[in-house]
């Protein structure tokens, strides 16, 4: 089963990568960009057919490895 884990910096946490992207977009002429947040996406293919158990496993992986829950929040979706 394929799962998509999205990791983004929490609100209020400085995001220098997002700011850099915003400045680069501005210098390319995209002036309408008001804010940019940059994060990670991890596509997991798990050998599990039960959606509830697959989701629970992915959340466990996110908490233990994929996200730093002090400064990042994560969501798990089944795409």
71 binds a copy of itself (CB under 8 A): no
72 binds a copy of itself (CB under 8 A): no
Measured CA to CA, the distance from residue 44 to residue 77 in angstroms comes to 10
How many angstroms separate the Cα of 52 from the Cα of each of 12, 24, 61, 73? Answer: 31, 41, 14, 20
Is residue 28 helix, strand or coil? coil
What binding mask, one character per residue, do residues 15-54 give for a copy of itself by CB under 8 A, x or -?
A: ---x--x--xx--x-x-xxxxxxxxxxxxxxxxx------
Interacting residues toward a copy of itself by CB under 8 A: 6-8, 18, 21, 24-25, 28, 30, 32-48, 57, 60-61, 64-66
């Amino acid at each position: 089963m394929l799962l998509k884990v999205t990791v983004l910096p929490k609100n209020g946490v400085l995001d220098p990568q997002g700011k850099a992207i915003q400045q680069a977009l501005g210098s390319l002429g995209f002036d309408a960009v008001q804010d940019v947040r940059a994060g990670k996406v991890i596509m997991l293919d798990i050998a599990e057919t039960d959606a509830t158990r697959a989701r629970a496993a992915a959340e466990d992986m996110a908490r233990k490895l994929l996200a730093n829950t002090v400064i990042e929040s994560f969501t798990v979706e089944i795409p």
